[in-house]
Amino acid sequence: MGAKQNLAVNLGFAEDARLLIINCDDLGSSHAANAAIRRAIGEGAATSATLMVPCPWAREGIEIARGLDVGVHLTLTSEYPFYRWRSLTGGGTLHDREGYLPRTAAEVWAGANLNEVEEECRAQVRQALEWGVDITHLDAHMGTMQIDPRFFALYLKIASEFRLPLRMVSERHETQLGFDCRGRARSMGIVFPDNFISPVWGTPARGTLMRALETLRAGISEIYLHPVEDGPELRGYDLEAAALRADDYACLMDPEVKALAKRNGILPLSFRPLRDLMRANTQSMSSV
């Protein structure tokens, strides 16, 4: 794949085609999230989701999402004050003093042993596969695997091992990080969307999504939201951002979102075609 050629062309679309992946993060984090994500993909504007394997509602999440395109949301943090979860592997440096995954990415970067991180990420992917998930891609909860270069190297390693495309930082964000993300992934044959659109955390994602639908660049873009059904469950565990998650759900169920995309000629896409392209390319290289 040439560095100048956008990914849409490699999938058989015109060079000026505009395709958008709308991913629902945090499948498995709660029953309310599971229910919202199922509807957001089945009836709303969303096209894919990523599963938080260590979470208590993960097993229900994959049952609710059967038949949908689901990736793995590599999870090294447990951010809520009183609703917590632990790692699959039990690595000592992966947990805080209370015995749970840390609440912040900064704590992970400061204290986690990289060997234990790698083992945990691999275990989460393997657990999803054992549950029957036909994994379409990888991303990372709270950006833990994408921002620190040490963790990013493991992110690439796991993606290459399981031949899965990745959520990738934007070109602008890559410049801010100060290390080569996109080029390294490309050199390893890892597929990722051309463009990445990240809503500003703490503000409703609706504005970012609607602006993207008006200004989307050519190629394949990804944006993510966190849809959750509003109610006692959400309000009981998310003490800071419950309203934002409920608004994300309402946004994805708003018919105007799909209508605006259609008016602007934007095509919906999931990560599955990217995964299939990556694996076809890998197979071609191995047969040479």
Instruction: List the chain residues with pLDDT less than 50.
Output: 1-4, 288
Residue 274 lies in a domain: yes
Instruction: State residue 1's pLDDT score.
Output: 40
> In angstroms, rounded to a whole number, what is the distance separating the alpha carbons of residues 252 and 199?
14
The total of structural domains in the chain comes to: 1
Tell me the CATH number at 273.
3.20.20.370
Note whether residue 6 is domain-resident. Answer: no
Answer for the pair 7, 193: CB distance below 8 angstroms, yes or no. Answer: yes
193 domain-assigned: yes
Q: Is residue 3 part of a domain?
A: no
120: Cβ contacts below 8 Å, ≥ 6 apart:
76, 87, 88, 89, 91, 94
Question: Do the domain assignments include residue 56?
Answer: yes
φ/ψ of 83, rounded to 5, equals -110, 105
For the whole model, what pTM was predicted?
0.95
pLDDT of residue 286: 52
Query: For position 255, what pLDDT does the model report?
Result: 98
> Is 147 within a domain?
yes
What are phi and psi for residue 223, nearest 5 degrees?
Answer: -135, 150
State how far the Cα of 242 lies from the Cα of 221, in Å rounded to an integer.
26
Q: What is the pLDDT of residue 2?
A: 40
Tokens of residue 253, six digits: 């169920």
Domain annotation covers residue 266: yes
The residue range of the domain holding 131 is: 20-286
89: in domain: yes
Helices (runs of H) and strands (runs of E) counted in the chain: 13, 7
The reported pLDDT for the residue numbered 288 is: 41
